[in-house]
Amino acid sequence: MRPKQWVKNVLVAVAPAAAGTLLHGTVLLKTVVAFFAFSLVASSLYLFNDIRDVEADRLHPKKSRRPIASGALPISVAWPASFVLLAAGLALGGFAATWQLAVTLVAYAAITTAYSMGLKTVPVIELACVASGFVLRATGGGAATNTKLSVWFVVVISFGALFIVTGKRLAEMPSATSEGERRAVLKEYTHSFLESTLILCATISITGYCLWAFESTGLLNRAHGREIYIQLTVVPVVIAALHVLRLLDRGDGGTPEDLAFHDRVLQGLGAAWVILMLIGLYA
C-alpha cells in the first residue's frame, strides 16, 4: 500500500491554501477527506500494479522483497483488498466531499490502471501518465473544496510534476557506476533527452510560478497589502529547483518522497516557502 508514498497526497491542500481559504468553514475538513480518499485509491492501485508485475518483480533484486512478490501477501488476499480500497476511496471522496472529487479519483484510477497495463512502456506518454497523478491530486483538492484554480497554478503544477517524473527517470538511467532500475522504457531514452526535458520543465515551471506570484490576478489578488511576502516566495522556489537539478546532475535526488523526508536543504526551503505564503495570505 506504500504508506511512505502518501506524502504526495498533501498536494490536495495546495489549491485551497493558495486561495487563502484553507481555514474557512469546512474547507480544511474536506481537504483532509481528499487526502485520505487519494490514499485509499492509490493504495488500491499499488496493489493492482504489484499483482500484475509479480513475475517480473520476483526477478528484480529489490522489488522481489515486496510483499506480493515475496509471497508474504497472497494474491488471493491482495485482489479483494484492492477492490475494497478503491471502492472505499471513491465513496469517501464522493459522499464526504464532492462529486467532482469522485470524478477526479476515477480519472486518476483510470490513467494509473492504463499505465500499469501497458502505457508504462510507451516513452513520453508514460512520463505524462505519472505526472498526471501529481496534477490530479492538486486539482482534486480544488474539486473537493470548490476552489477556483488559477491558470498559472495549473501550469506550475503540471510542469512541476513533469519535472519531478523526468528527474526520477534520469536518476534511474543505467550508468557506468550503476545498473539502474532497468525499467523497460529506459532503453527508449537517452541522458541528453531527459536532461533537455528536465531543463525545459524547470524553465516553464519557474516562469509560470513567477507569473502566478507577480500577476495581479494570481496570488497577489489575495495578499491584501502583503504582496512582498508572496513575491519573496519565488526565492525558495528557484533555489529548490537549482538544488534538485544539482542532485540529479550527480545521480541523486530521483525519489521525491525520500527528498521530502530526508533532504534537510529542501525541507528548509519548503519551510521558508510555507512561512512566506502563510504570512502573505493569512497574516
Highest mean pLDDT among 213-227, 245-259, 264-278: 264-278
The closest of 252, 159, 232 to 198, measured between CA atoms, is 159
Please check whether residues 34 and 52 belong to one and the same domain.
yes
Place of cell 499499488: 46
Residue-wise DSSP of 48-88: HHHHHTHHHHHTSTTGGGSHHHHTSS-HHHHHHHHHHHHHH
Please check whether residues 111 and 245 belong to one and the same domain.
no
> Which phi and psi (to 5°) does residue 143 adopt?
-65, -40
Please check whether residues 133 and 160 belong to one and the same domain.
no
Q: Which of 93, 124, 146 is the last residue of a domain?
A: 146
> What is the pLDDT at residue 176?
39
Please check whether residues 8 and 124 belong to one and the same domain.
yes
Query: pLDDT tens-digit profile of 11-29?
Result: 999 999 888 888 888 999 9
Confidence of residue 254 (pLDDT cuts 50, 70, 90): low
Is the distance from CB of 17 to CB of 157 less than 8 angstroms?
Answer: no
DSSP H/E element including 198: helix 191-214
Please check whether residues 142 and 156 belong to one and the same domain.
no
Alpha carbon separation from 158 to 130, 138, 151 (Å, rounded): 11, 9, 11
Please check whether residues 142 and 154 belong to one and the same domain.
no
Please check whether residues 2 and 123 belong to one and the same domain.
yes
DSSP H/E element including 238: helix 234-249
The closest of 16, 46, 45, 42 to 31, measured between CA atoms, is 16
Q: Which of 8-12, 94-98, 136-140, 236-240 is predicted with the least confidence, judged by mean pLDDT?
A: 94-98
Place of cell 529542501: 266
Alpha carbon separation from 9 to 4, 133, 143, 251 (Å, rounded): 11, 10, 14, 26
Please check whether residues 133 and 22 belong to one and the same domain.
yes
Please check whether residues 224 and 189 belong to one and the same domain.
yes
> What is the pLDDT at residue 180?
44
Query: pLDDT tens-digit profile of 175-211?
Result: 534 444 567 899 999 999 999 999 999 999 999 999 9
Please check whether residues 140 and 184 belong to one and the same domain.
no
Please check whether residues 181 and 72 belong to one and the same domain.
no
Domain housing 158: 150-283
What is the domain-level CATH number for residue 118? 1.10.357.140
Q: Which of 119, 146, 173 is the last residue of a domain?
A: 146
| Mean per-residue pLDDT, 161-166 | 94
Please check whether residues 70 and 156 belong to one and the same domain.
no
What is the distance between the alpha carbons of residues 240 and 234, in angstroms, rounded to a whole number? Answer: 10
Query: pLDDT tens-digit profile of 27-79?
Result: 999 999 999 999 999 999 999 999 998 988 888 888 888 999 999 999 999 99
Running DSSP on this structure, what letter comes out for residue 150? Answer: P
Q: Which of 122, 146, 170 is the last residue of a domain?
A: 146
> Domain count of the chain?
2
Q: What is the mean pLDDT of the chain?
A: 90
